[in-house]
Chain A
Amino acid sequence: MLAKRLPSILPPLTLSEALETTKIHSVLGRVKERGLIHQRPFRSPHHTISDVALVGGGTYPQPGEISLAHNGILSLDELPEFKRTVLEVMRQPLEDREVTISPARFTVTYPSSFMLVASMNPSPSGYFDTGTHTPIETRRYLSKLSGPLLDRIDLHNEVEPVPFEDLAKKQLGESSESIRERVTQARKRQQERFLKRPHLHYNAQMNANELRLFCALEKEALHLIKNAMKTLGLSARAYDRILKVARTIADLENSKAIHKNHVTEAIQYRSLDREGWMN
């Protein structure tokens, strides 16, 4: 699976991040002889998971999957199969990067700064064409995903079938190591940019203010995004996401300014916002 390979290209944990993550795993008694967790956690709970197991809670509040995935990846396979309430309780921690649980008497706050990697089929039958089920069934399937949840996901990617010629090729693709090298460089550039803002570590964390400050567009790029929003019917929220992603693409290319081609690529990754897909 593609998502399972994602940890192989993430930048290594820093010592302080490792300590934070180890603390949470220690609460559940999962550290033992390893001593220190030195790899980014990869959590992929099954879709039958309950609200409490995902965000944490219980009479004696325990951290949930989102906190165990702190500084790592939370992978949700078959996203529409999850209970709707489970997906909705995840919204606040996705935004705040921590979760506050208050069972009966007291409150606990656990950190939950994770990267969400979701995957889904385009329809209940699993294929793009709608021959085997009605449009109503498809709509019901897709309506499990609320707008606010999708708004918190920056990149939408439609995975297309691989042509046979590609499958049969003996030649290997680019290795994770060389991709990781580029990713680490891009992260370094972000850290330098956010030097004066200790709460910011990477582009996805920027708020509206910081977006305005760090993601100023060139005239040409501004014109392009204006046109795209009109013709594709993109929302104001989508606009923010596009800016963030464009910033990251520019960072990967070691470009100070965000150019037209960066914005074009970022717009491509908003396929679920476009008219006709979800509504």
Chain B
Amino acid sequence: MGATVNDPPGGPLADHQPRGPLADHQPGGPIPERERGGVRVGALGPPDGTSLPGLSLPGRVREAGPTDAVDGAQPRAVVSPSSTTETAEVLRAAYEGGLRTVVRGGGSKLGLGNPPAGVDLVLSTERLGRVLEHAAGDLVVRVEAGVRLADLQAALAPAGQLLGLDPPEAGATVGGVVAANASGPRRLRYGTVRDLLIGITVVLADGTVAHSGGKVVKNVAGYDLGKLFAGSLGTLGVIVEAIFRLHPAPAATAVATAEVAAPGQAGSAVRALLASALVPSAIELDWPGPDGPGTLTVLFEGIGPGVDAQAANTARLLADAGTPGARVLHDGEPGQGGEAGLGGGADRGGEATRAAAALGALPWEAGQLGVKVATGPSGLPGALATVWEVAAAHGLAARATAHAGTGVLRAGLDGGDATTLAAFVNGARERLAPAQAGLVVAEAPLEVKQGVDAWGPVGDALPLMRKVKERFDPSGLLSPGRFVGGI
């Protein structure tokens, strides 16, 4: 029967007791198993497509289908609030109903992290799609979480500005990029979410709306909750608005690119680049496999004479560091490169812009195992060699790309069954641990994830992270189990 979530008193939800946010909380204790608190999850299903307990938002709720599953966990309903107020209403209702909620933006990072312990509700940010304020003179933009990053870049472009985030995932939303701490090649120049996010509005599990930071770049009033939420993968609250500092879009692009024969050679080249006074936007490595060479690409963005001189200097510097034969790519006629880089427009640029647009692609296909190893620049050659060795030992092919200037390696593994792939993760993690290089599973088939911890060890701060989680989401309803240490 279609018992809905709006059952009147005496109905299926009558015995539910709403709990206060901090009630029954035992500081330092384990994150409680989700207490159903008398809520019958069955009361939700099948949903009638229009309602949630205590919530009346016509047209915002629909029944979940198989494509709404999060790493194998099937939600019952998808709700898409269209404002901060509606998001707060939804979360309050979910909180009172004890519904486990996973936030979804573009869906491009739903495979990140461990499979959730369970999902009742997917909260989609698809209706939170407005660019609220672009203060061009202040180089600041305020946006709703559901705005797609590509759309935001397109909105900023006429003012000659950009948000310095260029993650590879197509369709990623601003909220998702923040929640997943997604980054791309230009992190060398602009940093990551933590460096660009200056204000945030979040809704906690119990519906409380809170802000931190603001519209000014320089601001030390109060705790920086933006940093806490960046990379928290929907486990602390729902990001509804974000304020970013912006950068002027570069007018010209130039690229120097060279073949490298071995990880150690690439390492020497990168070390020389970083020790020089050159200011590249990105230093990227692409290595299809251990049997062939890799490609090192150095990207410069700025003004014409500046980037051309830097690219030419790069070729000389690479030759001195043992990597001769670098090609320097320009965009040709002035003005052609004006649309370079972040957010598209690649087809309008020249050779350098096209090369820049190709940077940062993920070295795996959907459904393959993808891992990320963050080492810092000096540890990168060793980490790459380790990944290859362990992959070979398990009969796997490994394609790698790296943000070599910051020391972030990504590898896609292909060719084995789930057991083999899980063995690779655990084996590589063990081999990388002495170098303090953590390995994170960025994407994997569910069967692989069931055999590994996506995050690996996080050290002695885990108990503190659990305490943070317990304070923000004491009932453990938000993205349960997806984050580090089972948070």
Q: Do A and B bind each other?
A: no
